[in-house]
Amino acid sequence: MQAAGAVFRLLQGKRGLSRAVRSYGGEATSDAGAGDTSATRSSRRSVDVSPPCPFSRDEVLAWLKEDDDWKLSFLWEEADRVRREHVGDEVHLRGLIELSSYCRRDCLYCGIRASRKIERYRMTEEEVMECVRTAQKLEYGTVVLQSGEDLGLTSDFITRVVRRIKTETPLAVTLSLGERSLDEMKEWRMAGADRYLLKHETSDPELFRRIHPEDRAFPVQSRGKTGTVPSQGPVRLPGTVPALPEGSSNPRVELLMRLRELGYEIGSGVMVGIPGQSYESLADDIMLFRELDLEMIGCGPFVPHPETPLGRQAGESMGTVHNGTVPGFADGRSQVPATDTMTTKVVALTRLVCPDANIPSTTALATVNREHGRELGLERGANVWMPNLTPLKYRILYEIYPGKAKVIDTAEEFHQNLLATLAHIGRVPGKGPGGRKRVIQ
Ligand code: SAH
């Protein structure tokens, strides 16, 4: 029985890979499926026809559960081949600027959640522009303006900064400011912002709700110098996206659709190994990436922050995963481990399902595997690196998870290591803004 199951999984894997090869114009393999005529094959290669997804959800699921190193080596190889074929050897560099650590949300996993009494900062326009000039000097193609969900970063402030970047430099601008009002997103787009990054974190509506508390009633934290934010009574904020009714889908997915209509390149992604995340829901996430036709897809492991509710809860269950026993849920599904291997499975499958997307090798991956995480991501499907340009004095305060801030390196010092790493794995720094070059229309 067991042997038959293993053979079945192997066949399932083989079929998945060969279908991926056929659909995206690689060498056809001998087990081309019945009914796959040369006409359908050539129409799939044509750029103006949207090809069917090369993997079924069950095939993605089987790969996520695959533990055999030998079989996985084929997945890594195939993801690397498809990456090379569709987005080349360039690694696009996006300079990350963490504008503000103020946040009105209280996400159960995040180290800068509103209810934590920590020192917070908000950068000035000049400080941001200083980082932008560093990005330009180091020949990065894009700057990513990221922050907690901070209404103290006013619409006007962001508009002014985006305008300055777009008029004073050739850089592309990605915004990653959380859920803001559509009016603001429209204004920033008109000011020249190119892309918006908003991870949907998990496509499981029940899990999403559990880790993103409904009550988003934290005060707007006033603009000022860095300092501890006193806890005030709850107030309702303007400009929030209304909470979705029970049973409806993820609000971030809805917002991504609106952002696309505004003409942004859109990016999403998930955390891998959130306590309560099943393999099934992770397979759904990967299929959703394809459905949303995303330009950017960032996936990193969940890194427990001990000062957060989810971090505390994860302490025990993660230990169990590492000891080899996988905790199950009441309905028999199993917990996804937050490991480097599981994360790179997601990266590799994402590359195969979305061959022309821009996919970063994330800092979270480099945090759980300090020695090789970054390279592993780049060798298993990723083509983007987001070096941190935030001034060191602020970086240490933007601690969404422990070990994230490598505060010993300035941007310039880090850049030398980055170039050496790329050379070591035979890749080159990307030139220009590095937007998505579509294969799927
Ligand atoms: N306020 C913005 C940016 C959030 S921080 C927004 O809401 O989109 C960027 C990403 O960090 C999040 O989308 C999440 O995927 C990741 N993140 C936060 N806490 C994390 C943790 N404990 N482990 C791993 N990734 C985490």
Instruction: Identify whether 9 is part of a domain.
Output: no
How far, in Å, are 58, 317, 385, 435 from residue 322 at the CA level?
25, 9, 28, 38
Structural domain includes residue 166: yes
Domain of 274?
53-429
Stated as kind and residue range, the H or E segment containing 296 is strand 296-297
Q: What is the C-alpha separation between 251 and 260, in angstroms, rounded?
A: 14
- Asked whether the predicted pLDDT for residue 226 surpasses 80, the reply is no
Q: Is residue 83 part of a domain?
A: yes
Q: Is 130 part of any domain?
A: yes
pLDDT at 112 over 90: yes
Domain contains 266: yes
Instruction: Give domain status of residue 87, yes or no.
Output: yes
Asked if residue 415 has its Cβ within 6 Å of ligand 1, the reply is: no
* CB under 8 A, 24+ apart: contacts of 311-319: 311/109, 311/401, 313/275, 314/275, 314/338, 317/275, 318/273, 318/275
For the chain, the domain total comes to 1
Two tokens at 417?
A: 């290591």
**What gap in Å lies between CA 304 and CA 310, rounded to an integer?**
7
Which has more confidence, 111 or 31?
111
Mean pLDDT of 248-262: 89
pLDDT over threshold 70, residue 102: yes
Whether 297 is in the pocket of ligand 1, judged by its Cβ within 6 Å, is no
Cβ of residue 401 lying under 6 Å from some atom of ligand 1: yes
Question: Which of 120, 201, 401 gets mutated to test ligand 1 (max ligand atoms within 8 A of its CB)?
Answer: 401
Which atom of ligand 1 lies nearest, measured to the CA of 310?
22
Rounded Cα gap, residues 363 and 385, in angstroms: 9
pLDDT confidence band for 439 (50 / 70 / 90): low
Q: Is the CB of 364 under 6 A from ligand 1?
A: yes
* Contact criterion met (CB below 8 Å) for 305 and 338: no
Q: Per the domain annotation, does 4 fall within a domain?
A: no
> What's the CATH number where 57 sits?
3.20.20.70
Is 63 a domain residue?
yes
* Whether the Cβ atoms of residue 275 and residue 60 lie closer than 8 Å to each other: no
- Tens of pLDDT, residue by residue over 294-309, are 999 999 999 999 999 9
- pLDDT average, residue stretch 264-285: 97
Is the pLDDT confidence value at 236 over 60? Answer: no
